[in-house]
Amino acid sequence: MKRAALALALLAAPLAAPAAGQPGRDLAAGCAICHGTDGRPASADMPALAGMPAAQFIRRMREFREDARAATVMHQIARGYSDSQVEAMAAWFAARRR
């Protein structure tokens, strides 16, 4: 049981050291499994992050942290990022084309 909890925590944890020229890129890589490469999901059922305004991304992540937005796993994932990491990801996704 402890191994399963540890494995889940490791999967949900953000990357520790973002690359020097694009700090949000490495952090955002963890989103690709659900939200697609560069924030463009394969399924219309998953929200696209590419081209999302930074303020909207930040607001949604805060809502997940505070349990104010419905989700399955995003509540736990959002809590794994600091404010500065969320801001870096928001800027990176905002700069991607839809």
CATH number at 27 reads 1.10.760.10
Given this model, what pLDDT does residue 21 score? 65
Q: What is the pTM of this model?
A: 0.76
Structure token pair of residue 13 = 């944890």
Count of domains in the chain? 1
> Measuring CA to CA, how many Å separate 70 from each of 17, 23, 34, 95?
29, 28, 16, 26
Domain range spanning residue 25? Answer: 2-94
Phi and psi angles of residue 70, each rounded to the nearest 5 degrees, phi first: -65, 140
Q: What is the pLDDT of residues 5-50, one digit of tens each?
A: 444 444 555 544 444 567 799 999 999 999 998 899 999 999 999 9
